[in-house]
């Protein structure tokens, strides 16, 4: 990134402008391109996909009017939200009320800095990569609290406080669950973690040992809780708190909350892909073209990330919301002790097999595949007895 | 860290730090403290201490300040209730401030401006460098801090069980 701008400066594109002025301007330009050309379409498509997946799970059709298969539904929703009146309640604390949604959106946009989409496509390969993401997620909890308090409304305040308690609690199992991977690689950099894995499933950290396998799902559950997803969406529980911290928001600011929620859903999937599914790793040697290689890596990364996104949609469409006390006991009584067991277990594993056990990863891959086969056979059995004309007709 | 960067960061940092104690509303004070800690983390970034910057945000701006805000919002502290209370802490604060200034003056006497310009080791501020320092040279303080935190956690559990 910096070398690219240095090259542009050396070639004299900017004339005699000082480098200190060019760097911020170029960073601003690139950030705008990334936000409007990549993140916004990504989030709108994720929202559309979520609504379509829910619909299929609930035997409905879902949004299919705007654009082919309703792909542009997010765009239509965005336009509708921007055109609506932006109400700031009289009793609200105006500066904080106005600022809070931007803080949340910043929180998920900033995590895109360290996500490696391919071997070359990463904005900054920070030495503290994974810790940086943890830090940003922790900061965005302030945004939710701010929104809840500034609305000056009991439901909003309760929603904000619940969310803060949830994020602060689930940071600990999430941090403990990514420590086994850090132990195995000896680095916190996202590119370093991916380079320590391979393209084949038995080279992924998901199947490295039973401990990393459990850690992957502990991290996924914690990440769902941190992003306020069902079954942990108690900060905005409709049946108890109207809409939680977003109750008083309308128009564009309400849309920003949605942007942040689905954006961080994708970020969760991407982090899971980086930590446990080998990120952009693909078999090498079949092409010498760097562009083709990077596009293939990008595709693989997106597929892996969207697998976890799809899983979150599936969970949201099937599981009911859990209670506050259940959420807290799940975190402190089950996930945190499990995290410590995983940490110590991985350390012992590394002492016994410094190069990794050669047999266990294959066994775990085969076991997982067998489970998936049994599962899909059962799903197919039920599909044949349901309404195949709905499920197998993508044109509805 | 050059002159322009230093003041571009230092002036907002001092302003928000003053706002922490100057603002009448407790919630705003806490939010200004979050901003102060965040700007301090940016300082650490410019000083090549990436690990310290990340930890600063996770521990202070993320966890501790969220709990501060949590308590302030839960108790719904109003701005006027705190104004009337005075504990005579001002005098203690003045004495503490004078001592701090004297210490800083003594420290600055011993150092020279060339010290900051001296070259850093290759892996300065990285996780690896910090970790090896913590587990070799500073092992005893590190372990004592760990025991101190453990005692605090046990104490909190005991108090909560009463």
In chain B, domain spans: 1-85, 123-162
Q: What is the DSSP string of A356-383?
A: --SSHHHHHHHHHHHHHHHHHHHHHHHH
Give yes or no for a contact between A9 and A19, defined as CB atoms under 8 angstroms apart: yes
Residues of chain A with Cβ-Cβ distance to B68 below 8 Å are: none
Residues of chain B with Cβ-Cβ distance to A126 below 8 Å are: 50
**Per residue in A148-167, pLDDT tens?**
888 888 888 888 888 888 88
Q: How far apart are the C-alpha atoms of B50 and A188, rounded to whole Å? A: 12
Residue A367 lies in a domain: no
Q: What is the mean pLDDT of residues B119-126?
A: 70
**In this structure, are A280 and A242 located in the same domain?**
yes
Residue A26 lies in a domain: yes
Residue A68 lies in a domain: yes
A293 pLDDT above the threshold of 80: yes
Tell me which DSSP letter residue A207 carries. Answer: G
- Which residue bears the tokens 């587990």? B135
pLDDT at A340: 92
| A101: its two tokens | 């949604």
The total number of structural domains that make up chain A: 2
Determine whether the interchain pair B62/A128 forms a contact, defined as Cβ–Cβ distance below 8 Å.
no
Q: Show Cβ contacts of residue A308 under 8 Å, excluding neighbours closer than 6 positions.
A: A220, A268, A269, A272, A273
pLDDT at B143: 92
Residues of chain A with Cβ-Cβ distance to B135 below 8 Å are: none
Terminal CA-CA length for chain B: 51
- By C-alpha distance, the chain A residue nearest B61 is A139
**In this structure, are A122 and A56 located in the same domain?**
no
| A229: its two tokens | 């997803």
pLDDT at A281: 84
Banded model confidence at residue B154, pLDDT cuts 50, 70, 90: very high
Banded model confidence at residue A129, pLDDT cuts 50, 70, 90: confident
Determine whether the interchain pair A145/B50 forms a contact, defined as Cβ–Cβ distance below 8 Å.
no
Determine whether the interchain pair B69/A145 forms a contact, defined as Cβ–Cβ distance below 8 Å.
yes
Residue A24 lies in a domain: yes
B81 pLDDT above the threshold of 70: no
Which residue in the set B4, B53, B69 is minimally distant from A142, CB to CB? B69
Q: Is A39 left (phi over 0), alpha (psi -120 to 50) or beta?
A: alpha
Helices within B1-138 (DSSP H only): 3-22, 26-46, 50-55, 65-75, 79-83, 89-110, 114-117, 127-135
Banded model confidence at residue A341, pLDDT cuts 50, 70, 90: very high
Which residue in the set B4, B50, B58 is minimally distant from A138, CB to CB? B58
Give yes or no for a contact between A274 and A194, defined as CB atoms under 8 angstroms apart: yes
State how far the alpha carbon of A382 is from the alpha carbons of A311, A313, A395, in Å: 19, 20, 21
Q: Show Cβ contacts of residue B126 under 8 Å, excluding neighbours closer than 6 positions.
A: A127, B50, B51
Three-class SS state of A226: helix
Q: What is the mean pLDDT of residues A355-376?
A: 87
CATH topology of domain B1-85: 1.20.120
Q: What is the mean pLDDT of residues B102-125?
A: 70
Q: What is the mean pLDDT of residues A225-237?
A: 79
Give yes or no for a contact between A268 and A301, defined as CB atoms under 8 angstroms apart: no
| A179: its two tokens | 């420590």
Q: Does B65 touch chain A (CB under 8 A)?
A: yes
Q: What is the mean pLDDT of residues B88-113?
A: 82
**In this structure, are A152 and A33 located in the same domain?**
no
Residue A53 lies in a domain: yes
pLDDT at B116: 55
Q: Does B40 touch chain A (CB under 8 A)?
A: no
pLDDT at A7: 67
pLDDT at A336: 92
**In this structure, are A155 and A50 located in the same domain?**
no
Determine whether the interchain pair A96/B31 forms a contact, defined as Cβ–Cβ distance below 8 Å.
yes
**In this structure, are A228 and A260 located in the same domain?**
yes
B79 pLDDT above the threshold of 80: no
Distance from CA of A382 to the nearest CA of B (A): 47
Q: Does B50 touch chain A (CB under 8 A)?
A: yes
Give yes or no for a contact between A235 and A228, defined as CB atoms under 8 angstroms apart: yes
**In this structure, are A69 and A173 located in the same domain?**
no
What integer best gives the mean pLDDT of chain B?
A: 81
Which residue in the set A157, A168, A188 is minimally distant from B67, CB to CB? A168
Global ipTM: 0.76
What integer best gives the mean pLDDT of chain A?
A: 83
Percent pLDDT > 70 in chain A is 91
Q: How far apart are the C-alpha atoms of A245 and A279, rounded to whole Å? A: 34
Tell me which DSSP letter residue B120 carries. Answer: P
Banded model confidence at residue A389, pLDDT cuts 50, 70, 90: low
Residue A378 lies in a domain: no
Domain that holds residue A176: 88-358
Determine whether the interchain pair B61/A142 forms a contact, defined as Cβ–Cβ distance below 8 Å.
yes
Q: How far apart are the C-alpha atoms of A33 and A184, rounded to whole Å? A: 36
**In this structure, are A324 and A176 located in the same domain?**
yes
C-alpha closest to that of B47 among B111, B117, B106, B101: B117
Residue with the bigger pLDDT between A336 and A9: it is: A336
**In this structure, are A234 and A151 located in the same domain?**
yes
Banded model confidence at residue A74, pLDDT cuts 50, 70, 90: confident
- Measured at the CA of B64, the angle between CA B63 and CA B69, to 5 degrees, comes to 100
- By C-alpha distance, the chain B residue nearest A161 is B70
Residue with the bigger pLDDT between A13 and B17: it is: B17
Beta-carbon neighbour count of residue B63 at 10 Å? 17
Determine whether the interchain pair A139/B61 forms a contact, defined as Cβ–Cβ distance below 8 Å.
yes
**In this structure, are A206 and A266 located in the same domain?**
yes
- By C-alpha distance, the chain A residue nearest B125 is A127
Residues of chain B with Cβ-Cβ distance to A139 below 8 Å are: 34, 38, 57, 61-62
Determine whether the interchain pair A127/B51 forms a contact, defined as Cβ–Cβ distance below 8 Å.
yes
Beta-carbon neighbour count of residue A209 at 10 Å? 24
**Per residue in A39-67, pLDDT tens?**
888 888 888 888 888 887 877 777 888 87
**In this structure, are A125 and A248 located in the same domain?**
yes
- Please report, to the nearest 10 degrees, the dihedral formed by the alpha carbons of residues A243, A154, A232, A334 taken in order: 180
Q: How far apart are the C-alpha atoms of B54 and B62, rounded to whole Å? A: 10
**In this structure, are A227 and A345 located in the same domain?**
yes
Residues of chain B with Cβ-Cβ distance to A171 below 8 Å are: 58, 62-63
Residues of chain B with Cβ-Cβ distance to A245 below 8 Å are: none
**In this structure, are A187 and A38 located in the same domain?**
no
Give yes or no for a contact between A266 and A42, defined as CB atoms under 8 angstroms apart: yes
Q: What is the mean pLDDT of residues A291-313?
A: 87
Q: What is the mean pLDDT of residues A198-215?
A: 86
pLDDT at B152: 93
pLDDT at A40: 82
């Amino acid at each position: 990134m910096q070398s690219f701008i240095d090259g542009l400066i050396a070639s004299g594109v900017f004339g005699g402008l000082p480098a200190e002025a060019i760097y911020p301007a170029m960073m601003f330009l690139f950030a705008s391109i990334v936000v409007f050309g990549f993140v916004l379409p990504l989030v709108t498509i994720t929202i559309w996909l979520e609504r379509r997946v829910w619909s299929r799970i609930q035997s409905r059709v879902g949004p299919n009017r705007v654009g082919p298969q309703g792909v542009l539904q997010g765009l239509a929703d965005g336009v509708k939200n921007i055109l609506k009146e932006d109400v700031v309640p009289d009793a609200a604390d105006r500066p904080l009320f106005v600022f809070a949604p931007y803080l949340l959106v910043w929180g998920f946009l900033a995590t895109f800095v360290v996500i490696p989409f391919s071997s070359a496509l990463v904005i900054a390969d920070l030495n503290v990569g994974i810790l940086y993401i943890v830090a940003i997620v922790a900061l965005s909890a302030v945004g939710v609290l701010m929104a809840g308090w500034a609305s000056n409304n009991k439901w909003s305040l309760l929603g904000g406080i619940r969310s803060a308690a949830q994020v602060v609690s689930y940071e600990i199992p999430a941090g403990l669950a990514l420590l086994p991977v850090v132990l195995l690689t000896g680095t916190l950099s996202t590119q370093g973690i991916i380079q320590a894995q391979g393209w084949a499933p038995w080279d992924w950290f998901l199947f490295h040992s039973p401990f990393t396998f459990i850690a992957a799902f502990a991290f996924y559950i914690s990440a769902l809780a941190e992003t306020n997803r069902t079954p942990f969406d108690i900060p905005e529980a409709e049946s108890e708190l109207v809409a939680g911290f977003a109750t008083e928001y309308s128009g564009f600011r309400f849309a920003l909350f949605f942007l942040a929620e689905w954006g961080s859903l994708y970020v969760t999937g991407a982090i899971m892909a980086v930590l446990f599914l080998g990120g952009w790793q693909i078999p090498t040697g079949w092409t010498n073209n760097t562009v083709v290689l990077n596009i293939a890596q990008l595709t693989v990364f997106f597929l892996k990330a969207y697998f976890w996104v799809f899983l979150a949609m599936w969970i949201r469409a099937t599981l009911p919301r859990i209670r506050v006390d259940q959420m807290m006991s799940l975190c402190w009584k089950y996930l945190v002790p499990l995290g410590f067991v995983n940490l110590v277990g991985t350390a012992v594993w590394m002492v016994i097999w410094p190069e990794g056990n050669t047999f266990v990863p294959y066994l775990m891959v085969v076991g997982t595949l067998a489970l998936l086969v049994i599962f899909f056979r059962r799903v197919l059995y039920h599909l044949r007895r349901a309404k195949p004309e709905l499920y197998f007709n993508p044109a509805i | 860290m050059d002159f322009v960067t230093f003041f571009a960061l230092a002036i907002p940092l001092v302003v928000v730090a003053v706002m922490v104690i100057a603002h009448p509303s407790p919630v705003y004070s806490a939010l200004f403290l979050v901003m102060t800690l965040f700007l301090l983390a940016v300082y650490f970034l410019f000083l090549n201490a990436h690990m310290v910057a990340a930890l600063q945000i996770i521990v202070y701006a993320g966890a501790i300040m969220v709990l501060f805000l949590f308590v302030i919002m839960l108790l719904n502290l109003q701005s006027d209730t705190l104004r009337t209370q005075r504990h005579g802490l001002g005098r203690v604060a003045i004495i503490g401030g004078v001592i701090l200034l004297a210490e800083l003056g003594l420290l600055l006497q011993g150092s020279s401006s060339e010290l900051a310009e001296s070259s850093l080791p290759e892996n300065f501020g990285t996780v690896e460098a910090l970790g090896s320092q913590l587990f070799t040279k500073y092992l005893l303080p590190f372990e004592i801090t760990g025991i101190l935190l453990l005692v605090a956690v046990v104490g909190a559990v005991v108090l909560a069980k009463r």
